[in-house]
Amino acid sequence: MAKNPFRNAQYLISAHHLRDLPPDGGAEAAFAGRSNAGKSSALNTICDQQGLARTSKTPGRTQQLVVFPLDDAHRLIDLPGYGYAKVPENLRLHWRGLIDTYLRTREALKGLVLIMDVRHPLREFDQQMLEYAVATGREVHCLLTKADKLSRSEGMRTLLAVRKELQARAPQASAQLFSSLAKTGVDEARAVLAGWLGLAGGD
């Protein structure tokens, strides 16, 4: 079995401004999703590290761009969660502007992993992220998380419906079922990320 390159991920910095990020070189993949969609759990599972990204019973804990380098040239970026964070409106607007500018201007960004609860896919925030991706030509891979909450047939039905919607909205986007709890779809997600970043392995 190939070595999982994402096990090398380490916390580096939580950036409140783009100028705080590492130099815009190499290759990075960003994770975005509503605050309760399971983004931190997905990151931890993909990296095979229990406490890399903070998980909390209080959604919205990721409040900056959190940088996890794999090595000197490859990084994962955890974008602020959206939807449940109890923050002032001016800070919420700052995040929105920060994410917008990051997605539009970051040359190192090779793709966006969009985390969606399989029971509530393609909400307003998800559609906004897809619009960004279309506007910037970014690769997008959607993880339909918490797949263990549905039966296999229900999960596949949802996946097919989401793929059909993506074909209309963002033809470059792909989607899969994922469960941090049951470890469903982990190898597939790693393979997509490894392909974006030009990494060997991913299994």
Return the higher-pLDDT residue of 142 and 51: 142
Question: Is there a contact between 117 and 145 (Cβ–Cβ < 8 Å)?
Answer: yes
> Can you give the CATH number for the domain in which 135 is found?
3.40.50.300
Phi, psi of 78 (to 5 degrees): -95, 110
For 39, the token pair is: 């983004």
**Per-residue pLDDT at 60 exceeds 70:** no
When divided into structural domains, the chain yields a total of: 1
Q: Give a yes or no: residue 202 inside a domain.
A: no
**Per-residue pLDDT at 61 exceeds 60:** no
Q: Give a yes or no: residue 15 inside a domain.
A: yes
Mean pLDDT of 55-74: 77
For 101, the token pair is: 């500018």
Residue 194 pLDDT: 97
Q: Which of 34-38, 51-55, 189-193 has the lowest mean pLDDT?
A: 51-55
- What mean pLDDT value characterizes the chain? 90
Tens of pLDDT, residue by residue over 66-103, are 999 999 999 999 998 766 456 677 877 888 888 889 99
Which domain does 141 fall in, by range? 5-197
Beta bridge partners of 69: 75
Q: Give a yes or no: residue 56 inside a domain.
A: yes
Residue 128 pLDDT: 87
Residue 90 pLDDT: 82
Mean pLDDT of 147-166: 98
Q: Give a yes or no: residue 203 inside a domain.
A: no
> What is the Cα–Cα distance from 40 to 32, expressed in whole angstroms?
10
Residue 145: closest CA among 37, 35, 30, 6? 37
**Per-residue pLDDT at 31 exceeds 50:** yes
> What is the Cα–Cα distance from 54 to 61, expressed in whole angstroms?
7
Residue 1 pLDDT: 40
Percent with pLDDT over 90 in the chain: 72
Phi, psi of 7 (to 5 degrees): -65, -15
Return the higher-pLDDT residue of 63 and 77: 77
